[in-house]
Amino acid sequence: MSGSRLTRRRAITLAGAGVAGVAGVAAGAGALISGSRDPAAASDHPAQAVPFHGEHQAGIVTPAQDRLHFVAFDVITKDRGRLVELLQEWTAAAARMTAGRDAGVLGAVGGMPEAPPDDTGEALGLPPSQLTLTIGFGPTLFRDADGRDRFGIADRRPAALAELPKFPGDALQPQLSGGDLCVQACANDPQVAVHAIRNLARLGMGVVSVRWSQLGFGRTSSTSRDQATARNLFGFKDGTANLKAEETDLLRDQLWVQPGDGPDWMTGGSYLVTRKIRMLVETWDRTSLAEQEEIVGRTKGSGAPLGRTDEFDEPDFAARDADGQPLIAEHAHVTLAHPSRNNGAHLLRRGYNFVDGSDGLGRLDAGLFFIAYQRDPRRQFVPIQTRLARHDVMNEYLRHVSSGLFACPPGVRDGGDHWGRALFG
Amino acid sequence: MSGSRLTRRRAITLAGAGVAGVAGVAAGAGALISGSRDPAAASDHPAQAVPFHGEHQAGIVTPAQDRLHFVAFDVITKDRGRLVELLQEWTAAAARMTAGRDAGVLGAVGGMPEAPPDDTGEALGLPPSQLTLTIGFGPTLFRDADGRDRFGIADRRPAALAELPKFPGDALQPQLSGGDLCVQACANDPQVAVHAIRNLARLGMGVVSVRWSQLGFGRTSSTSRDQATARNLFGFKDGTANLKAEETDLLRDQLWVQPGDGPDWMTGGSYLVTRKIRMLVETWDRTSLAEQEEIVGRTKGSGAPLGRTDEFDEPDFAARDADGQPLIAEHAHVTLAHPSRNNGAHLLRRGYNFVDGSDGLGRLDAGLFFIAYQRDPRRQFVPIQTRLARHDVMNEYLRHVSSGLFACPPGVRDGGDHWGRALFG
């Protein structure tokens, strides 16, 4: 069976055939509980493939998968041609891996018997698991820390890709922040997401180098109305008021870069902000339920705004208790982050919980890997985070340790298109 | 809904009712592909509960779940009574959480409205997911690094709980090694495993402190003949020849501590060795397929021993190729680890893949968190690892960075029994 072609496609068929009575626990528990999932939709099946090609990149409004492997790369070549070539190779590999094709082929590179296998093999036998791969370009790709325009694209840098300001309380670790390129891999099986990032890194040897990487184990946002809202490590439902795939008008206004917004190459793309937010869960766990709910502005059980009964009820910021005090505090997280307090700004969030072992001080190194897509960070993430960083009582329990900003180009069209075409031509 | 009693039991019912057509991808893909799973067996359902009580602890021969959160604690109290009290509290919490009972109750501790919630809440709405919690006692619990018998149990230390020797090539980090206590949480949903460890740590505040903790995302061993063999990050099937739950005679001989083996309190228990093994995947990925297979002694595609055709065929160490060379090298991993070369010694392994971000040198910090249970490490892990550490060509691609050794007592019987009873009386 050396060099066998046991493809992941075969695994899908097997999984599809034998599924009755076996629940999708890790992958599908949230969706099952919501009761609103349409089991007939093939691409809605947690084992299936999500289309790679399209107007926009997959992995943005795609219903948030349950697992994440995110990587930021430094470009270590100075050769523009080699970089573009890698982006082409990556695109082909991404199209294959997201479809579950060829990922299980253990043939040697170029057919040379003494060459390494052309796939690392750990996803052999696993279905596509709704893998999406989403690429982004960081500010340093256009002009590096020394001011150099390594690849002749400084004049193509969008104004919206302006370095984020330092926010009050930031405790960023430079080695965990930034990056010339990023790839977000989301899937319902972490082995599939890890396999994809590892194989992109392998293809990039000598051209790029892994700067930082992050695994996430539980989604904290829904990006579709069909998904139940999941919980973050504070135990609260997170992302109830998130931008959702069904809100087409809001997506146009708040998510996708429109013609005239900046350089043409970004039209149909979106800007990505990542923040690794350490959560001091041990301190949080010593806080009373009443105080936790006051800080968040929502009920812990149902997720309803304080004073309301259903998770999806709109917060009533005017409501008062018997003593005339606001039911939702002015400095509650839900108030500060609400579009009505931020010039109507929304974010499409798709963050993940993480636990990276312990911190050497007897505590878990746990938190939220925050991911938000938007049309222009200068009008969305930056003002919202400025307000939160200044006033949110939750900050007492948070440390922002990593930050990333990336311009994610539009989707790849079938045929000769590739991840670098929009930017590099 | 403040303080609501939306229990995980309700979630199970919902999951059970709405499951048709939604595959258990992350949780069940391996099992689905094997085609041999019995969907009728309730405890075999990846969402269901595994019984907590029994002759042996769950989480040892229990069919390996897909996700791991492992934690080692230092005991920071000097008060034996408080430690025993915590072990009692932990036992009650473990029984509840593994059954999916009460974990979703957000009532305040002791019913005091200003007290913190008595559960952290992030597993609200999630089913039990086959959660198992397995406790172990480290050598330092009996006598600490300064030689102190803090809890009056030095004379109860089993001879088999002898500190492991330093093996050639070991690169152990003391802060990631050892521990007075450990808890292994395995589940098909990582949020459930993380929730369990976090809540045990929360209950232990002031009595224990997290020393180190490790997440694992993909099982690398099967502990039941019904499970398909999963792959490690070298892309090879791992654990093909593992001890399995069905091999009752071998389990008695190799896994469970028998009467007369040592102190009575360990009868029915087992010894646990953990090793965090960094895998230099980038170097491995540059190695040819032929060389990888020679190092392992198995075919990468099917997992069959070299020269054989089926994964479960016995390796034929006498087989020669046309040139008279052994088909399976004398220093292949499969040869060195084989019971026939180790006085018949077997291990029950249930390790997990990990990726802990990157190493700051452009590489993924990835590998295997090795877990092995056995009747006596002095006759099993130690001689096997000594042989591997000396001769295994695979060592070129491995670094052992953490090591743990724990005595896992027998199972908890229903009623007044608890995790500390066997040892502390």
CB B318 within 8 A of CB A27: no
Assess contact for A364 and B210: CB atoms under 8 A: yes
Partner-chain contact B362 A209, CB within 8 Å: yes
Of the partner residues B76, B205, B301, the one whose CB lies closest to the CB of residue A4: B301
- Report chain A's mean pLDDT, rounded to a whole number: 88
Nearest residue of chain B to residue A32 (CA atoms): B15
> Distance between CA A7 and CA A3 in Å, rounded?
11
Q: Which pLDDT tens digit goes with each residue over A132-159?
A: 999 999 999 999 999 999 999 999 999 9
Q: What number of CA atoms fall less than 13 Å from residue B244's CA on the CB side?
A: 13
pLDDT on residue B125: 87
DSSP string, A28-66: HHHHHHHS---TT-GGGSTTSPPP--SSS-TTSSSPPPS
CB contact under 8 A, A189 and B32: no
Query: Between residues 341 and 380 of chain A, which touch chain B (CB distance below 8 Å)?
Result: 353, 355-358, 360, 362-364, 366
What's residue A19's pLDDT? 30
The pLDDT of residue A59 is 98
A243 near B CB under 8 A: no
pLDDT tens for each residue of A377-387: 999 999 999 99
Distance from CA of B337 to the nearest CA of A (A): 22
Chain B contact for A313, CB < 8 A?
no
Q: Which residues of chain B have pLDDT under 50?
A: 1-42, 103
Q: Does A299 touch chain B (CB under 8 A)?
A: yes
Nearest to B14 among A32, A285, A304 (CB): A32
Q: How far apart are CA A121 and CA A129, in angstroms?
A: 16
Q: What is the pLDDT of residue A257?
A: 98
Report the C-alpha gap between B281 and B300 in whole angstroms: 15
Chain B contact set for A35 (CB, 8 A): 14, 18
Residue A108 confidence class, pLDDT cut points 50, 70, 90: low
Question: What is residue A1's predicted lDDT score, i.e. its pLDDT?
Answer: 31
Contact, A356 vs B357, CB < 8 A?
yes
Tell me which chain B residue has its CA closest to the CA of residue A191.
B218
Percent of chain A with pLDDT over 90: 81
**Facing B24 at nearest CB: one of A14, A25, A191:** A25
CA angle B344, B347, B350 (to 5 degrees): 160
**Residue A102 in this model has a pLDDT that exceeds 90:** no
Backbone dihedral angles phi then psi of residue B152, each to the nearest 5 degrees:
65, 35
ipTM above 0.90, yes or no: no
Two structure tokens written together for A28: 């599908």
What is the 3 state secondary structure string of A308-328?
CCCCCCCCCCCCECCCCCECC
Cβ–Cβ pairs < 8 A, chains A and B: 365
> Cβ B32–A26 below 8 Å, yes or no?
no
B175 inside 8 A of chain A by CB: yes
Contact B153, B374 (CB under 8 A): no
Residue A230 reports pLDDT greater than 50: yes
Q: Has residue A41 got a pLDDT over 50?
A: no
pLDDT at B422: 95
Residue B125 β-bridge partners = none
Confidence at A34, pLDDT banded by 50, 70, 90: very low
Per DSSP, the residues of A213-239 read: EEEE-EE---SSTTSPP-B-TTSSB--
* pLDDT at position A260 over 70: yes
pLDDT at site A331: 94
Q: Which pLDDT value is given to residue B29? A: 31
Nearest to B371 by CA among B132, B59, B75, B160: B59
Say if residue A411's pLDDT is above 60.
yes
Contacts with A31 from chain B: Cβ below 8 Å: 22
Give yes or no for B46 touching A (CB within 8 A). yes
**Which residues partner with A326 through β-bridges?**
A320
**Mean pLDDT to the nearest integer, A160-183:** 97
Q: What contacts B25, CB < 8 A, 6 or more positions away?
A: A15, A24, A26, A27, A28, A46, A47, A127, A129, A188, A189
B127–chain A Cβ distance below 8 A for any pair:
yes
Q: What is the DSSP string of A85-118?
A: HHHHHHHHHHHHHHHT-STT--PBGGG-TTSPBS
Q: Which of A3, A22, A362 sits opposite B28 (nearest CB)?
A: A22
To test the contact with chain B by mutation, choose from A6, A14, A25, A364 the residue with the greatest count of B C-beta atoms within 10 A, namely A25
How many residues in total does chain B contain?
Answer: 425
Tokens 């097997």 correspond to A14
Contact B23 A4 (CB under 8 A): no
Hey, is the C-beta of B276 within 8 angstroms of any chain A C-beta? no
Q: Is B362's CB within 8 Å of A122's CB?
A: no
CB of A67 within 8 Å of a chain B CB? The answer is: yes
Rounded CA separation B76/B59 (Å): 26
CB contact under 8 A, B201 and A282: yes
% of chain A beyond a pLDDT of 70? 87
Nearest Cβ partner for B299 among A2, A45, A197 = A2
Sequence-distant (6+) residues with CB within 8 A of A116 are A108, A109, B285, B286, B287, B288, B289
For residue B113, the chain A residues in CB contact (below 8 A) are: 288, 290
Minimal C-alpha gap between A217 and chain B (Å): 6
Q: Determine whether A86 is exposed, middle or buried from the number of CB atoms within 10 Å of its CB (0-12, 13-18, 19+).
A: buried
Q: Of A98, A108, A157, whose CA–CA distance to A133 is shortest?
A: A98
- Give the residue-averaged pLDDT of A211-218: 96
Q: Which of B33, B209, B301 sits opposite A1 (nearest CB)?
A: B301
Which residues from chain B sit within 8 angstroms of residue A118, using beta carbons?
Answer: none
